[in-house]
A and B are shown apart, each in its own frame.
Chain A
Amino acid sequence: MYVSYNWLNNYVDLGDISPEELAERITKSGIEVEGIEYVGEKVNDVVVGQVLTCEQHPNADKLNLCQVDVGTETLQIICGAPNVAAGQKVVVAKPGAVLPGNFKIKKVKLRGVESNGMICSLQELGVKEKFIPQEFVDGIYVFQNDAEIGKNVTDLLNLNDAVFELDILANRADALSMIGMANEVAAILDEQVTYPDETIESNESERAEDYVSVEVAAQDLNKYYGAFIIKDVVIKPSPLWMQNALLAAGIRPINNVVDITNYVLLEYGQPLHAFDYDRFASNKVLIRRADEGEEIITLDGQTRKLTPENLVITNGMEPTALAGVMGGLDSEVTEETSTILLEAAYFDGTTVRRTVKQTGLRSESSTRFEKGVDPNRVRKAGERACHLFEKYANGNVLQGLSEYDGLDYAEKTVVIETGHVNERLGSAIKDEEIASILRRLQFEFEQDGSTFTIQVPTRRQDITIFEDMLEEVARIYGYDNLPYTLPEGDGQVGGLNREQQLRRNIKSFLEGVGLMENRTYSLTDEHNSERLCSPEIMAKSPVPVALARPMSEEHKYLRLSLLPGLLQSLTYNQARNQANIAYYEIGSIFVSTEEKITKQPEETLRAAGALTGNWVDHPWQGEVKPVDFYVVKGIVEGLFDQLKLSVQFEQTKLQDMHPGRTALIKRNDQVIGFLGQLHPLLAKRLDLKETYVFDINLDAVFADYENEPSFAEIPKYPAIARDIAFILDQDVLAGNIQARIAEIGAPLVKSVAIFDVYEGEHLEAGKKSIAYHLIYQDPEKTLKDEEVEASYQEIVKTIADEFNGYVRS
């Protein structure tokens, strides 16, 4: 909301407090001032002048030669504005005036003719366009006839005003009005509030009830409806001060009737609506729920289809307004309007909010109804508007009003006790201070020693319990004045739990071996929703979880794999000539197996990586090697070694993966992830070079991880090493032989490592040679050669029998 400093000054004496200082104090008391904007600047020697004559410049087509009465003298001024005319009252900068931007006005000769000053536009006075009435945006400003000739324009045009932009939060509906802000500022400054004049002077004998009756059919949604009738209204521009006030608040003036309803809306926070009584076409106002499919043409010319969720004002037959949101076109006030039906009502906030959402028509009015208006100000706002209609629209206000009143005017009672307040705040506020704070807030209360029984005024609907009042006391007392303390409770030992610690360890490992962490989006598009999902997840037949109303197709589904996001990162970098990338991410995937989702998806934590470009990159040494399958496998193996968890790798074929270079990662015969080369076709589509990925189910890792590694003594007895090379058929897998050797050799064989793989000219076609390095060791005693030899021979025999392999001599 925008609040004008000068306007606020009408209700609270702001003394000489500067706008900046006031803003700071308002902010510190709970309503954030997000910005201060000045309308213009104070100017000297700039006055109201009347154009007496206006003729064309003898030597220039587009210039006018004007004689202008500025009160003390008549000045000859040359003016180029297209809208200047004789008889107008205009803004005249006299010689000697200095306009914003240090523009000095001097006597000059223009094409041989003397010009003694300047007729100004508002822009030339430094006024920002948002504060300029529409008709004067493209020319000089023209006053209404009542402007006093010779008067300085600073006050007339509100040039020295500062406008605060306030961020009013949901609880402070009361502050969405000038009076509300006056109450707030008065409490902060410890000042009094002067309230607006609501007196109606009319002595009309006719009564509003003779013209209109009010019936509310939907009493749950409309607790109050008051209808005033104002006759003999003359539509014309509203007074300058009112226009200035509206402009400062960000509302463009239209005519006196509309401006008055808007002015009172801003002043009281109570929306009003003026109908043209003659066009209303009935003497009955009926407020009801709309019928299904019923239609109304709103002020903006749109036809709106309604449902029973909407509340409508009708003339007994058809809707004339969408309650609290927008009036109907048929009963709009026009230049010809002479009798007004003025509505002051209290509509249900939830209904208004639903209608706003449905129609997209958010306005100054709907915002206030949504947040709740003050029951005690509804009728008063109507009376204030009537007062202004009398003064500024020649209106004759009929006696009384037609109304339905089901409002609850009861004030809530909240009891606070000084000791309790201090206990909760950690403060040492005294009884007198609390009493003073309550007085400043204009809350009525009874004090019994340290106990205060407070009547909460109806404008503060947000205060219902002790804690609400605690905040009121604290904010006026000043948060700055509270002490700094630390909680006194029993010491709780903080820390990471097992999984959190393990996750950090895994992160350290991956970063230590050269991977950079990524953060990617959990939401993805349809194509990527299932792509590269790990086989053990796919085995559950997951159904990608979709948003009901996504912002874009790009972010519509919750991911089932971290890899598409990581690949996107790779593509992004590749496109920026960053060729060597090794990324990983730890994050959740979202697994639901319900065709139509009813419960939360299972969130599984995964660690995934994607690598492309060179892994070894030492160019001048001639050692440049692109990342390959075994780099990624080495990382995965290293991770599981570090975790002291054994895993197996098994050749597999997966969609979007290279058919010959992909492996499952298994533990205890359960798949817990996969790794391998991205299918070259997919890589090409993503503009990637050869790319490798891995994806591991961390929940499975956490389940098996043992916190305390078991202690094993370092063996005292010497180990014996033996090497064996087998000639094998090409399709025999090295890992299978390795596993079998370990199995047969147990318990004496401590480790089996592969140290050479050979295929080529020295072997017959279809064969390969794999060499294994075996370590024998007995923890209990020194091994004998015969024992090793026996085991060795058993291994040789088994591999020959089972794998058709023989020892290479």
Chain B
Amino acid sequence: MKEQLETIQQEALAKIEDAEEMNSLQDIRVAYLGKKGSITKVLKGMGKLSPEERPVIGEMANKVRNIITGAIEEKSAELEEIALHEQLETEAIDVTLPGRKVNVGGPHLLTSIVEEIEDLFIGMGYEIKEGPEVETDYYNFEALNLPKDHPARDMQDSFYITNELLLRTHTSPVQARTMEAYNGERPFKMICPGKVYRRDSDDATHSHQFTQIEGLLVDKNVRMSDLKGTLDKFAKQMFGEDREIRLRPSYFPFTEPSVEMDISCKVCNGEGCSVCKGTGWIEILGGGMVHPKVLEMGGYDPKIYSGFAFGMGPERIAMLKYGVNDIRSFYTNDIRFLKQYHHA
């Protein structure tokens, strides 16, 4: 009987080894391990054996059964894997076909620039203030040291609605309103971005509506060198560490002394070209020390407080930074233009 079992084992293992399909494995299982299978047949003859031999043969029969079962499982796993592999091969696709494009939107170039400037100044502790686009003559001009009939106040430039109401020509009225709101009681620093309007005909370099972002800092002992340091930090962040910066005297009714800031031309690196009109410099913003009359009208005592202010145009910055050559492009909203400047 012992030999019989050994033969069965050898036979079975050889058949398993040769099996190529799951069905054959099933047949093998029935033939050897089933109720009418070879091992069962062998065990049926156990009655003829001596009581000593019975457990030995029984144990051996179990062992053979386990070996065969194990071999069938192993082979079955192997065949399954082969079958899966074959199936996957047939599932191959063309990976060069395009994917299902996701709709992606994005911010307008001007918004990106405004937010970049906002974030830069937030980093320096500034808050952001906003105000109405239809302003009173008082906040737009008078509170900024531009009384009626002031030579710097050219009526031609403003869109008036009535004698007292107009579309703001700059975001400076927000500064006047902020000073008034703080009532001369606390130092502050703020940035005010927004839409402004001038009575211009639209062409490549003029727009009746454009964007401005202005800043104001009021505190005790503010020095002109603080303005210089702040603007230097801003310009290097915005335009690159390799840009040179120069301040030169200028005139604004709401600041004294007043400055204009130029950066060295990026196109020609200061050599002089058509972009910088041969000067090597590009005007980027205006500013100065807040005029004592403006402080006073805002409720701040100019003997105690001083401050600086500055302002710039995001359109101009975009035109310089990205080479946009027509200011109207910002308002026609050509999708190809908007996408071009949109990047994560």
Which A residues are closer than 8 A to B by beta carbons?
A: 27-30, 32, 34-35, 169-172, 349-350, 353, 357, 370-371, 423-427, 465, 467-468, 470-471, 474-475, 479-480, 482-497, 500, 504, 507, 510-523, 545-551, 555, 558, 569, 572-573, 576, 578, 581-584, 587-588, 590, 597-601, 603, 615, 617-618, 620-621, 623
Q: Which residues of A contact B130 (CB under 8 A)?
A: 500
> Are B223's CB and A425's CB within 8 A?
yes
Residues A492 and B201 in contact in the complex (CB < 8 Å), given A170-B251, A423-B223, A547-B160: no
The 9 closest A-B pairs by CB, nearest first: A426-B225, A514-B103, A30-B249, A426-B223, A471-B257, A569-B333, A169-B251, A489-B219, A511-B105
* Interface 1/0 per residue, B104-115 and A, CB below 8 Å: 111110110001
User: Bound complex: CA of A336 vs CA of B337, how far in Å?
Assistant: 65
- Minimum distance in angstroms from A508 CB to a CB of chain B: 9
- Given A482-B228, A620-B97, residue A170 in contact with residue B335 (CB < 8 A): no
List which B145-203 residues lie within 8 A (CB) of chain A: 149, 151-152, 155, 159-162, 165, 167, 187-189, 195, 197, 199-201
A511-B107, A515-B105 given. 13 additional CB < 8 A pairs? A170-B152, A370-B151, A426-B224, A485-B228, A487-B189, A490-B187, A494-B121, A513-B103, A516-B342, A547-B159, A547-B167, A555-B208, A569-B332
Chosen A-B contacts, 7 in total, with CB atoms closer than 8 Å, are: A370-B151, A479-B247, A485-B226, A494-B122, A507-B107, A600-B165, A603-B133
CA distance A489 to B304 in the complex (A): 13
B-to-A contact residues, CB < 8 Å: 97-98, 100-108, 110-111, 115, 118, 121-128, 130, 132-136, 149, 151-152, 155, 159-162, 165, 167, 187-189, 195, 197, 199-201, 208-209, 217, 219-226, 228-230, 232-233, 246-251, 253, 256-260, 277-279, 289, 291-292, 306, 330-336, 338-339, 342
Does the CB pair A582–B151 fall under 8 Å?
A: no
Q: Is the CB of A483 within 8 A of B228?
A: yes
A492 pairs with B127, CB closer than 8 A: yes
Cβ-defined contact, B106 with A516, below 8 A: yes
- Specify which chain B residues have a CB less than 8 angstroms from the CB of A32 in the assembled complex: 248, 250, 260
- Contact partners of B103 in chain A: CB under 8 A: 513-514, 582, 615
Chain B contacts for A370, CB-based, 8 A:
151
Residues of A within 8 A of B291 (CB): 467
Select which of A30, A468, A514, A620 is within 8 A of B248 by beta carbon: A30
Contact B257 A475 (CB under 8 A): yes
Contact pick for B306, options A424, A482, A494, A507, CB 8 Å: A424
Residue of A nearest to B127 (CB): A494
* Chain A residues with CB below 8 A from B330, complex form: 519
Write the nearest CB–CB distance from B102 to chain A, whole angstroms: 8
Q: Which residue in A35, A479, A487 is a CB contact (below 8 Å) of B249?
A: A479
Contact in complex: A471, B256 (CB < 8 Å): yes
Whether B250 and A169, one on each chain, are in contact in the complex, defined by CB atoms closer than 8 angstroms, is yes
- Decide: A521 and B209 in contact? CB cutoff 8 A: yes
The residues of B that contact A546 with a CB separation of less than 8 Å are 161
A467 contacts B289, C-beta separation under 8 Å: yes
Q: A555-B208, A597-B162 are in contact. Are A28 and B248 (CB under 8 A)?
A: yes
With a cutoff of 8 Å between Cβ atoms, the chain B residues found around residue A171 in the complex are 251
A371-B151 contact given A493-B125, A550-B159, CB 8 Å threshold: yes
Known: A424-B289, A480-B247. A468 touches B134 (CB 8 A): no
Q: With A and B bound together, what is the CA distance between A666 and B209 in angstroms?
A: 33
- B219 & A551 in contact (Cβ 8 Å cutoff): no
Judge whether B224 and A474 touch: CB under 8 Å.
Answer: yes
Q: Which residue from chain B places its CB closest to the CB of A549 in the assembled complex?
A: B160
Q: Is the CB of A470 within 8 A of B134?
A: no
In the complex, what residues of B have CB within 8 A of residue A584's CB?
105
How far is B111's CA from A510's CA once the two chains are assembled, in angstroms?
14
CB atoms of B128 and A578 under 8 A apart? no
Cβ-closest chain B residue relative to A578: B335
Contact across chains for A28 and B251 when beta carbons are under 8 A apart: no
Q: Are B333's CB and A518's CB within 8 A?
A: yes
Report which of A486, A493, A573 forms a contact with B334, defined as CB distance below 8 A.
Answer: A573
Q: A272 CB to closest chain B CB, in angstroms?
A: 22
Q: Are B151 and A487 in contact (CB under 8 A)?
A: no
Most buried by A among B124, B224, B289: B224
For B262, the closest partner residue in chain A by CB is A27
Residues from chain A with Cβ under 8 Å of B289 in the complex: 424, 467, 470
User: What separation, in Å, do the CA atoms of A617 and B98 have in the docked complex?
Assistant: 12
Question: With the chains together, A753 CA to B155 CA distance in Å?
Answer: 61
Query: Which of chain A's residues has its CB closest to B111's CB?
Result: A517
- Measured CB to CB, the closest approach of chain B to A669, in angstroms, equals 29
| CB-based contact A516/B229 at 8 Å | no
Q: Is B251's CB under 8 angstroms from A470's CB?
A: no
Instruction: Tell which of B102, B209, B221, B230 touches A423, judged by Cβ atoms closer than 8 Å.
Output: B221
Q: When the two chains form their complex, are residues A517 and B105 in contact, meaning their CB atoms are under 8 A apart?
A: yes
Which residues on the A side are within 8 Å of B209 (C-beta)?
A: 521-523
Q: Which residues of A contact B125 (CB under 8 A)?
A: 491-494
Q: A172 touches which one: B162, B251, B277 (CB < 8 A)?
A: B251
How far is the CB of B9 from the nearest CB of chain A, in Å? 52
**B247 contact set on A, CB distance < 8 A:** 479-480, 482
